[in-house]
A and B are shown apart, each in its own frame.
Chain A
Amino acid sequence: MNKSIIYTIIFILTIAGILLLVLFKTPEFLEPEEPGLPTEAIEETGEEKPDVMDQQETPAPAEVKKPVITITGQELAEKVYNRDDGDSAHSITEMVLRDKNGHERKRIMEMYTKDFDPLVRAFIEFTDPADIRGTRFLSWENADEDDTQYLYLPELGRARRIVSNQKKLRFVNTDFSYEDMERRKPDEDKHEISGEAVYLQRPVFILESEPFPDTSQYGRRETFVDQESLIPVSIDFYDKKGELIKEFRVHELKEIDGIWTAMSAEMRDLEAGHKTFMNLKEVEYNIDLSEQYFELRNLEQ
């Protein structure tokens, strides 16, 4: 047998072995898991696994009350913006992308954030799957300008300054746009509280926000703000023609180290019939994070 054939056989067998390892290391290969829904909830109901979108608690109209609170929409938006989310944080999040045919893809990202009063810097690294492993993203909020953002792609071999004002673009092919991933400043919208409701068995404010011209891809947002945690737990996104185009729903809230946290959530693109589930796998707050984490040197390590 000539050398070419021997090498080819060895190579094919090696790759086949690697693929089998990859396949067997994928949990879904053994037991498909419904993303987004906490396991204990499934166990408690004992029912067939439902689509998590069916689990959302959209309030009935009767539950909607006229606001009896005294704060204004603007004040509520500022409270949401300034709510306690820790001076620093580290989290690992699993993102599951599901298309309208039910095909799924996963991404796992590790995120570090730190307050540089009053602004926030964030460092994100994708750790899975292998084809985006090593992709890193650095974002610095600026007071009166667009954020400064850098992207490190392994195939490029260097950090690249990227445009941060294209907020409409999808974040790594998910249903979240870059705008959705950013902290939106309260003075970029006109806010009004239109009522109260109940979501996840918790009282929420209904906050209507209309962006000032040229500040958003959306025409209007209707946000349910959890009254205790001040976390937006449900957002309906409307385009500039007034049509509902995307829905964001939190499925589980949990208090961790005294800080309320959305443990699982999903974003649904109504036009594409595509969904992205976000499950927080790990989170820790107020940790000792060096400022170097948020510098270019960390991006290019």
Chain B
Amino acid sequence: MNVKAVVFLTGIFLFMVHEARASVFPIVVDWEVGGEWSSYWYGEAEQDTEAENEIMSDNRLLLENDISFQEQNFFINADAEWRFETFYGGLEEESQSEVRFREFYGEWKQDSFEVLAGQSILTWGKLDDLVVLDRINPQDFTHFILYEKQERKDPALMMQFEWFALEDVQFETVWMPVFQPSEIDYFGTNWAGFDHLKETVLASGNYTAGQKSIVSGISIQDDDSVTDQSLENSQVAMRLRGRMSEVDYGLYYMNLYQSLPVLKEENPAGNATKRFLYEPTLANLDALVSASASGNDLLLTRAHPRVHVIGADWETVWRAFGLRGEIAWTMDAPYLRDDLSYNEKDSLAAGFGIDHTTDNDWYFDFQYVQNYILNYEGLYGIDEWPTQFAGTVSKSLARGTWFVETDWLWDASYSDWMLNPEIVYKWSRLGVDAAVGIFIFEGENASTVFGRYDNNDVVYLRLSGEF
């Protein structure tokens, strides 16, 4: 029986039990059913290649069940999600559909401790958009950053134990039995790491058979040793949270796999393959052809090294400002050298955030993260001192009927940036929001994060609601 059928039948079963719960359960059960839906329609601002999809839709329906066994202090959260996407324009028009459980866990709460087991999403750290410590869950980057961090998170299988040791001190430990990498496409979509490179070369008459053969031979594989459903790949993280006077603080240790992969070569010739992928020029392709690249030369592996993270966060308020920060020392994080060979290095990161709401309801949020790569040597697309800024400016109008917001990200080290203005109308009677917005990506070259998507500016329309 496939996963879709299991999810569907479970949904039907839960619905029937919900309707008949008075007779099924002799104990007190409080069962809330709700959900949310959204329909995004993205239009490319300009079709740069014939392979690029002009219009994409991404539609989701999430059904949420919160079941409380009050007397037993036991709670079940079961969310099922149906998502389908359609792609129009480009070389291939297609659609894909997925049904899956999202969060699905049981939780037992006692006075001094709580235990959670199942598939869940946690939020660690204090910064909103930039990541220093919020690393428990993998993220879905198949749409790059069109969705906010919290929406990008995929639930992970885990057991979480929280111990409320003192009134102001809490200890928390998380054990994840298997490793689940972040989702990222490398080929075949507008948001894939190497977008439509393969289809474009293979469909074009401007390339020789030898060049096409090389390109079609390039493949990217998982590292089975870490993605195996084996307890050897379990991960652990712990955090101590507390409050001193008017400051909240947290101390962290994480022993996790790096969820966002870095491409690792099978042999030194693989670096030329990477060079062509990151900088898809004819010269770089010809270098592969003249080297007669084949087999493992064209095979790259998604590397997810085990990293150790030691960190801390804090949050307080000062006058009319919310202040927060995070620091982390990450050991053995993956990078690419200038020659694109795989490498691991330690890094330090410190982040700071401030937010303020004015008396007339303008909201400002500003975040800054400074990284430092230890034992730096020339790294591809990464400086020794990478600096990132992010922010949000928003305002609700007509008592929340209209909402305008602009999010932005700026990688100061590489002069690339993203801007996302949006306007939302809230139709409160039906619980429906209608939004229009635009994502603008700018960067000087393809080696930077936003530079890679310089040609992917999109306008979007979103309809969404909760029930």
Contact = CB atoms under 8 A, between A and B. Distances in A.
A173 interface: yes
B361 interface: yes
B28 to A, nearest CB: 16
Contacts of A7: 59, 84, 86, 95, 97
B433 interface: yes
Interface size class of A (residues with CB under 8 A): 35 or more
Contacts of A23: 429-430
Contact of B123 (A2, A145, A156, A162): A156
B128 A133 contact: no
Interface size class of B (residues with CB under 8 A): 35 or more
B164 A11 contact: no
Interface stretch (B11-19, B181-189, B392-400, B435-443): B392-400
A179 B59 CA distance: 42
A14 B99 CA distance: 15
A246 B396 CA distance: 21
B248 A161 contact: yes
B467 A169 contact: no
Given A4-B93, A7-B95, A15-B37, A163 B357 contact: yes
A213 interface: no
Interface stretch (B297-305, B318-326, B383-391, B446-454): B318-326
A69 interface: no
A158 B321 contact: no
Interface string A110-136: 000000000000000000011101000
B164 A130 contact: no
A147 to B, nearest CB: 11
B322 A297 contact: no
Given A7-B97, A158-B123, A130 B398 contact: no
B162 A166 contact: no
A160 B93 contact: no
A71 interface: no
Contact of A131 (B61, B317, B396, B428): B428
Nearest to B109: A301
Nearest to A99: B399
B465 A15 contact: yes
B359 A169 contact: yes
B62 to A, nearest CB: 11
Given A7-B84, A19-B465, A163 B321 contact: yes
Contact of A129 (B37, B319, B431): B431
Given A15-B37, A155-B150, A173-B400, A161 B431 contact: no
A97 interface: yes
A21 interface: yes
A3 interface: yes
A129 B466 CA distance: 8
Given A15-B37, A155-B150, A21 B121 contact: no
Contacts of B361: 169-170
Nearest to B356: A163
Given A19-B432, A168-B359, A170-B361, A130 B466 contact: yes
A23 B315 CA distance: 41
B322 A160 contact: yes
A133 B64 CA distance: 13
Contacts of B398: 99
A120 to B, nearest CB: 17
A157 B150 contact: yes
A166 B356 CA distance: 10
B162 A297 contact: yes
Contacts of A156: 123, 128, 150
Given A157-B150, A274-B399, A297 B465 contact: no
A22 interface: yes
Given A169-B359, A170-B361, A148 B162 contact: no
A70 interface: no
A83 B359 CA distance: 32
Interface in A245-280: 274
Contacts of B400: 105, 173
A165 interface: yes
Central interface residue in B150, B320, B466, by most chain A CB within 10 Å: B466
17 contacts: A3-B95, A7-B84, A7-B86, A22-B465, A23-B429, A99-B398, A130-B36, A131-B465, A133-B34, A133-B466, A155-B148, A158-B126, A165-B320, A169-B359, A173-B400, A290-B111, A292-B111
Interface of A: 2-4, 7-8, 11, 14-15, 18-19, 21-23, 26, 97, 99, 105-106, 129-131, 133, 145, 148, 155-158, 160-166, 168-170, 173, 274, 290, 292, 295-297, 301
Interface of B: 34-37, 39, 57, 59, 61, 84, 86, 88, 93-95, 97, 109, 111, 114, 121-123, 126, 128, 148, 150-151, 162, 164, 167, 170, 246, 248, 315-317, 319-322, 356-357, 359, 361, 396, 398-400, 426, 428-433, 465-467
Give 8 nearest A-B pairs by CB, closest first.
Answer: A130-B466, A157-B123, A4-B95, A4-B86, A173-B400, A173-B399, A158-B123, A7-B84
